[in-house]
Copies of this chain bind each other. A is one copy, B any other.
Amino acid sequence: MSEADRAPAFRPLYRQVREALIQRLIDGAWTPGMMLPSEFQIAAELGVSQGTVRKALDAMAAEHLLVRRQGRGTFVALPEEGRILFQFFRLAADDGTRLFPESQVIERQREAAGAAAEMLQIEASAEVWRIGRIRRLGGRPVIAEEIVLPLARFASLAEFPDLPNNVYALYSEHFAITIGRAVERLKATAADEATAAQLGCPVGHPILSIERVAFALDGTPVEWRVSRCLTDGFHYQADLR
């Protein structure tokens, strides 16, 4: 953390601290659920003041990377935790209750990336997993989902025949990949024959199509997915501030 570090394009100390700490998450030195050293310990270790460490930790907590609990300590966020769980899942029933449908994998294959290559920033010839799954609420299929993952980062995925509802917990636990950010594009489309068959609705039925690219902590894209959702009885919720 030398003075020279900020010479070329001034980067505040607390920014550098934040990046150093994020690197520990990327490296796996700090794993989900782990309690971090106290602010004073981190400060002493990095040779900065406690206030500077606090500013870095606060920023990371705002990004949902850490969870701070007064009186207890600072912890690496778990993908299982409530607010994290729904951070990336914004469907809710029309009465306001949050939903988390059950998942059933119906298809999984290795293939060339093709069209997904651009989204995942890999070669079109690179291999990917393509996973199709149906998600149900009370037995009724409501989402038909297609997930594409680069084989290079998910080599041992074959060991997991049935995906859990929350795949980001799987990514974290078994592939040491933490999703830090995602971008979604929503469109209204008409159900094609395949989707209609999967969701049990008429061909041409209105479908909310959600296309998502999810990024790892280092900023590289690691997942591309399309969710085709029925939206009677529930909706996609967005809070604008």
Contacts and interface: CB of A to CB of B under 8 A. Distances in A.
Interface of A: 63-64, 87-88, 90, 94, 180-190, 204-209, 211, 229, 231-232, 235-241
A239 B189 contact: no
B240 A88 contact: yes
A62 B183 CA distance: 20
Contacts of A240: 87-88, 90, 181-184
A207 B188 contact: yes
Contacts of A231: 186-189
Question: Which secondary structure characterizes the binding site on chain A?
Answer: strand
Given A87-B240, A240-B181, A241-B63, A186 B206 contact: no
A65 B88 CA distance: 26
18 contacts: A63-B241, A94-B185, A181-B239, A181-B241, A182-B239, A182-B240, A184-B240, A185-B235, A185-B236, A185-B238, A186-B237, A187-B232, A188-B189, A188-B209, A189-B206, A190-B205, A190-B206, A206-B206
